[in-house]
Chain A
């Protein structure tokens, strides 16, 4: 019947407008893939710096023969900056193609949900480092990043929440088994991002 047909159409239109109005829908799958590749490269560099065993990150002794702390910190920050730049670039491109506004309340909600826990995590990593607990850094990064994604997932594709939950669990595992920290970090930030990026790309395009 015609009325049922047009009623269905109206309802799906309403639903899609509500989603556009509350969610950031320009998160590109390619953002995930590029962030994952960058993270894997960073993990590979870090592994080289701690002796190539993929083992426990040794406690650092400032300026001494311990962990090359400065290198690891620069490596981690480099991964963060490059991954952010790449995902921003792909999201801007996707927003243009969709004709959606890039900056609006939805973007602000999403970024707020993402960066507030992330900043707390960064500060906490600083706390760990001043106590010399370098082996726990992968765990802390994964847990805080996972929580950040769990929150941000409310304001973008909801699949992102599962990625967050898995990362948080990997982080807790890494806390109990610090000798697996770097491997789990590479899995959570590298491999999972690539897998998720491909899935998002397949489902939402661009």
Chain B
């Protein structure tokens, strides 16, 4: 078997994007406000990074209504999960001195 070489993903260079994917990778879906509190970031900052992840199709947005209040939740896509898992594998490789 040829050992697979994982490479770091530039999308995850950013702390906020890394944290968002960490949360989404262990959750079905997470609301905007909860993400904001878990990460301790501002609305604008979080929205910007979520938009980047969405553009790469790493997460999908689910807009629904709870009563009259709009509710925005996010979930990782299959592509996003795979990309994130590869990034983590690459990080582990670096630490083991693989590269």
* Chain A contacts for B37, CB-based, 8 A: 99-101
- Given A7-B94, A7-B95, A11-B88, the answer on whether A18 and B25 have CB atoms closer than 8 Å is yes
Name which residue of chain B comes closest to A16, CB basis: B22
Smallest CB separation, A62 vs chain B (Å): 48
A14 within 8 A of B: yes
Interchain pairs with CB closer than 8 A, number: 55
- Please report the total number of A residues contacting B with Cβ < 8 Å: 18
- Given A18-B23, A21-B27, the answer on whether A10 and B40 have CB atoms closer than 8 Å is no
A56 within 8 A of B: no
**When the two chains form their complex, are residues B18 and A14 in contact, meaning their CB atoms are under 8 A apart?**
yes
Please, how many angstroms separate the alpha-carbon atoms of A99 and B91 in the complex? 29
**When the two chains form their complex, are residues B22 and A18 in contact, meaning their CB atoms are under 8 A apart?**
yes
Q: Main secondary structure on chain A at its contact with chain B?
A: helix
Smallest CB separation, A70 vs chain B (Å): 44
A105 within 8 A of B: yes
A131 within 8 A of B: no
Please, how many angstroms separate the alpha-carbon atoms of A104 and B15 in the complex? 23
* Chain B contacts for A104, CB-based, 8 A: 34
A13 within 8 A of B: yes
Please, how many angstroms separate the alpha-carbon atoms of A129 and B23 in the complex? 46
* Chain A contacts for B33, CB-based, 8 A: 101
**When the two chains form their complex, are residues B34 and A10 in contact, meaning their CB atoms are under 8 A apart?**
no
Please, how many angstroms separate the alpha-carbon atoms of A198 and B94 in the complex? 39
**Chain A window 98-140, contacts with chain B (Cβ cutoff 8 Å), 1 for yes, 0 for no:** 0111001100000000000000000000000000000000000
**When the two chains form their complex, are residues A20 and B94 in contact, meaning their CB atoms are under 8 A apart?**
no
**When the two chains form their complex, are residues A17 and B27 in contact, meaning their CB atoms are under 8 A apart?**
no
* Chain B contacts for A21, CB-based, 8 A: 22-23, 26-27, 30, 38
* Chain B contacts for A14, CB-based, 8 A: 18-19, 22, 88
10 interchain residue pairs of minimum CB distance: A17-B22, A21-B23, A101-B37, A7-B94, A14-B22, A7-B91, A18-B26, A17-B19, A104-B34, A7-B95
Other CB < 8 Å A-B pairs besides A7-B94, A17-B38, A100-B38, 6 of them? A11-B92, A17-B22, A17-B23, A18-B25, A21-B23, A100-B37
